[in-house]
Structure 1
């Protein structure tokens, strides 16, 4: 039977597609792709980064980043590597990738002193190797993200110390890339009891780290440090609000600067690249238990000089509009949050009037916020206030009444 030219042409065109599908289905395509990275390990001795520059990527494998269930949407940093490879691997002769958990001594290497400089003899081969570097390093990061640490938690500072020691013998540029949410649960930087409050709290943490020698002024000497993903946690973990993320950024910049003998602005960098979400893996189910860092709820208290209402009134003061406009801008940035408005009154009115007045005040603030573009706002009249949260020192009678006549706006996740 003679095959027509048209049929032979169709077969020739379809065969590569069919073969690709078969290879992929059999897992052979994956091994062929993996072979693209084999050249990077040819001269890796696993102990020394060699004389050229070296980039070391630390991957936080704690549950707060990867999630705790198979359905968790964890944080995936592998795409970030491809996006930033040109900057992170510039002048780097070698590159390493390691995962860490609650024990900094237990770094799990998915890449150790891989060559980042093409080794092929011909220009075409060198170009192919050069183009494969971001993908290969991204795969090493993806492998590190699947790591199950022997100990739960996250010892970020300890991992940075170990990484700095591993970079020690490199003669060229030394870079440390830390892919983490910044939620350390171990040692001097343990944030499980943190209030995420102010600069004083951050300074106290840094002082403790210096006093305990968990960090020294030369810990990161001559190491350019880049932190990526601060405040970004898995979907089923406590979620940071912008204020928490900003606080974390200032904390880790401060820790990093304190670990450099003469810190330069380029020594400690917070990267603005946003990691993507990934689906949970089987390994997620095997992760050891670990302490969690809970972000305190943000509460805006409008009392005293910031009081929104005159005594006995539910009509917003003119100055209140400007205050609420500023708050609305911040609330609109709280993605995925809902907002509770609590209205209070002082004890000078009758019980029935107190309840209706407190509800009317909460309604007035809710309506103003909604008109300013804030969604999912609930108004709750609480009646007479009990106490004055956050007050310092003894309050005068006038101050107590002003505090009682307040509105609280609570951010809830």
Structure 2
């Protein structure tokens, strides 16, 4: 090799050596920027039967399907909505929900024909090929990994408006029918359907006859049959629990929703229904989920009728032509105040009335003064979010007219109504 060639090769080698540290630094930086997936540890659960690494395991039969309501009443409609977070507490119950079954699937659902499976046929236990240490380690992570899939499901946004719980139940039933062995369906929802036979947008949330009528309509419309959930243990979780920015159910309304869905669930099982066929349960209250908002289509949320306190008859609040609270009214107002103070997020509206004997010029001012008097007393007793409105002459007494004497009717007319809505209860 001549001197010129040697010099050229030496210069080329020097340039490569100069660039090499930069390339290595870039590669190392790229590796450092790429954080490892903390949930890669769950990948073994997702092995499908046609995967060469699939291990059927001992007794891996039976299936658990978990469907998660992702509509606005559960998830909220804007940032800071305080949507219901099922994932953390679900992990504590997952072992029970998965017990006796070998695989699971998890889906998000919204309106009709809107159910998306985020996990399908995941193994819920270690396989026969695992050594003792792997079996122990994998058994410990099953609940955690399953709860993570619930978190993935609840982060999804519906494709369309409306809430169709029964459609999700039917779709899950089809999935469960493909499996042998024990079958279990877990439905995480507030139960506030706005589509189909169980549409609750006009519900009173209190009449038992309404439950009978809804169940009959669902049977007539064939949205449910006695074989929809044949041999499926069904668990309905968190009925009545909505996001904090949504209408809130009181205890009686929540109880009514639970009875409705238990009836519908029983109608989907062959008679006589077994105790394990339909279980209604509630998770302990958790911190609300205030994560990054996800755009959701319009979904008209059913409004829970507010509770109205009407004081009429012998226990009048006011004398004729007076807006001064009678002494006899104070124990009742105090009792109401104590109850209202325990309702987080309650909105209290006071409506004042007069009887028809006064002059029309004085009707509004007197009814407003009566509403203001009750508002002031409630606020003095610690009730917040109170408004007062004078309504003038009362349009009849809420009680049956035939049950009241003339004097009792007049006392009822010069009453106040206290209407209470829960619009943002804390969890």
TM-score range, shorter chain: 0.7 to 0.9
Partners in 2 of 1:177 and 1:306 — Cα distance?
49
Separation in structure 2 between the aligned mates of residue 334 and residue 249 of structure 1, nearest angstrom: 21
Alignment of 1:107-122 (within 5 A): 107-119=115-127, 121-122=130-131
Distance in 1 separating the partners of 2:50 and 2:398: 58
User: If the length of structure 2 is used for normalisation, what is the TM-score?
Assistant: 0.77
**Paired residue for 1:269?**
279
Superposed CA deviations along residues 194-214 of structure 1, whole A, max 9, x for unmatched, are 232422223222221122221
Shift of 1:139: 1.3
Matched, 1:41 2:39: no
Where 1:74 maps in the other structure, the secondary structure is coil
The reply to whether residue 404 of structure 1 matches residue 409 of structure 2 is no
* Between 360-369 and 92-101, the greater mean CA deviation after superposition: 360-369
Over residues 70-123 of structure 1, what are the superposed CA-to-partner deviations in whole Å (9 max), with x where a residue is unaligned?
5544222111221211221222211110111112x4421111111111125212
The 1:78–1:281 alpha-carbon spacing in structure 2 relative to 1, beyond 3 Å, is same
CA distance in 2, matches of 1:354, 1:102: 49
Contact 1:54 1:94 in 2 (8 A): yes
Q: How far does the alpha carbon of each residue in 1:327-375 deviate from its partner, in whole angstroms, 9 at most, with x for none?
A: 4454233211231222222122356775675456445544654566533
Residue 162 of structure 1: aligned partner: 171
Over 3 Å counting, the alpha-carbon distance change for 1:374 and 1:129 in structure 2 is same
Q: CA deviation at 1:326?
A: 5.2
Structure 1 Cα separation of the partners of residues 161 and 304 of structure 2: 19
Cα distance change on mapping 1:209 and 1:321 into 2, 3 Å:
farther
Q: What root-mean-square deviation, in Å, do the aligned CA atoms of Structure 1 and Structure 2 show?
A: 3.4
Q: Which residue of 2 aligns with 1:59?
A: 68
Task: Give the aligned length.
Answer: 383
Query: Which of structures 1 and 2 has the bigger CA Rg?
Result: 2
Which of 132, 135, 150 does residue 141 from structure 2 map onto? 132
Which residue does the alignment assign to 1:84? 93
- Gapped regions of structure 1 (runs ≥ 5): 1-21
Summarize deviations over 1:9-49 as a string: whole Å, max 9, x none.
xxxxxxxxxxxxx99973433x2x22211111124579xxx
> CA contact under 8 A between 2:239 and 2:282: conserved in structure 1?
no
> Is the alpha carbon distance of 1:306 and 1:188 closer, same or farther for their aligned partners in structure 2, counting shifts above 3 Å?
farther
Give secondary structure in 1 for the equivalent of 2:102: strand
53 and 383 in structure 1: CA distance in 2 versus 1, 3 angstrom threshold: closer
Which range is displaced more, 273-282 or 175-184?
273-282
Paired residue for 2:230? 221
Residues 407/71 of structure 1: CA separation in 2 closer, same or farther (3 Å cut): closer
> Could you tell me how far 1:265 is from its partner in structure 2?
4.1
Q: Does 1:339 align with 2:348?
A: yes
TM-superposed deviation, 1:173? 3.3
Secondary structure of 1:278's counterpart equals: coil
Specify the alignment match of 2:247 in structure 1: 238
**Matching residue of 1:28:** 35
- Asked if 1:278 is matched to 2:283, the reply is no
Aligned ranges 1:303-322 → 2 under 5 Å: 303-304=312-313, 307-309=316-318, 311=320, 314-316=324-326, 318=328
